[in-house]
Amino acid sequence: MDRTAPTATGELDVKPLDVAANRAARKYSLREQALRVLWSFGRWLIVLSPHPLHGWRRFVLRLFGAKVGRHARVHQAARLFMPWNVELGDWSAVGSEVFIYSLGKVRIGARATVSYRAHVCAGTHDFTDPTLPLLKPAVTIADDAWIGTEAFIGPGVTVGRGAIVAARAVVVKDVEPLTVVGGHPAHPIAPHPGIRRQRG
């Protein structure tokens, strides 16, 4: 439903949000609500763990339903909002203060790196509906991709295999494999170094 419509004078008539309907809408299942309560305590098992204990953090994340590959490394200061919606491939790395807003599924592939303070966002709202229903579009960061410091990866985005997202880039569309993107919004900014080596 469109919240805006042109009036006779050409101005936009913005319809008010249906606040009551939005509050009444069920955003999480009862199971998810129970898991969120448990995780609010369980996440401290990660936060308080010493840096070298990657195996312990893998164990805790698996305990809360995450699919975690061999040798995956998650920094103790990273925050996974709903770990049961997260999949981490073998040898993947999630850096300090990364925020994975995993309302929907988030897959981080093998050997992929998500750097310091990056934000991976698998949740948004349908602004075309007056009730602003919650949406949970999945995010995929494919094998061998690298997400730079403080980059934002938006809902529904796929970052292709081997792609590089520059620091503080804002990615709202899919990134092709073996592409280097940067900027706001992100766009190709340089040839991939692996391609240059192959051509050389």
3-state class (DSSP) for residue 50 = coil
When mean pLDDT is compared across 7-11, 114-118, 136-140, 160-164, the lowest value belongs to 7-11
pLDDT at 1 over 50: no
Name the token pair of 163: 């792609």
pLDDT at 20 over 90: no
User: pLDDT tens-digit profile of 127-154?
Assistant: 898 888 999 999 999 999 999 999 999 9
pLDDT at 26 over 80: no
The mean pLDDT of 80-85, rounded to a whole number, is 97
Length in residues, the chain: 200
Q: What per-residue string of b and e applies to 30-69 under the rule 16 or more CB within 10 Å gives b?
A: eebeebeeebeeebebbeebeeeebeebbebbeebebebb
Name the token pair of 102: 């995993």
pLDDT at 58 over 80: yes
The mean pLDDT of 60-69, rounded to a whole number, is 98
CA angle 24, 81, 138 (to 5 degrees): 80
Whole-prediction pTM value?
A: 0.83
Q: Where are the domains of the chain?
A: 29-199
What's the CA gap between 155 and 106, in Å, rounded? Answer: 10
The mean pLDDT of 72-78, rounded to a whole number, is 98
Active-site entry in 125, 184, 187, 192:
125
Conformational region of residue 55, where left means phi above 0, alpha means psi within -120 to 50, and beta covers everything else: alpha
What's the CA gap between 174 and 45, in Å, rounded? Answer: 34
pLDDT at 23: 55
When mean pLDDT is compared across 18-22, 100-104, 149-153, the lowest value belongs to 18-22
Cβ proximity of 115 and 133 under 8 Å: no
Reported confidence tier of residue 177, pLDDT bands at 50, 70, 90: very high
Work out the percent of the chain whose per-residue pLDDT is above 70.
Answer: 84
The mean pLDDT of 23-30, rounded to a whole number, is 67
Cβ proximity of 176 and 161 under 8 Å: no
pLDDT at 195: 67
Q: Burial of 14 by CB count in 10 Å (0-12 exposed, 13-18 middle, 19+ buried)?
A: exposed
Cβ neighbours, 10 Å, residue 70: 11
The mean pLDDT of 89-113, rounded to a whole number, is 98
Q: Mean of the per-residue pLDDT values for the chain?
A: 89
Single out the residue of 155, 136, 138 nearest to residue 26, CA to CA: 136
Cβ proximity of 47 and 53 under 8 Å: no
pLDDT at 112 over 80: yes
DSSP-assigned letter for residue 33: H
What's the CA gap between 87 and 64, in Å, rounded? Answer: 12
CATH homologous superfamily of domain 29-199? Hexapeptide repeat proteins (2.160.10.10)
Q: Catalytic annotation on 125?
A: yes
Q: Which amino acid is at 92?
A: S
Structure-model confidence comparison of residues 198 and 193, the more confident one: 193
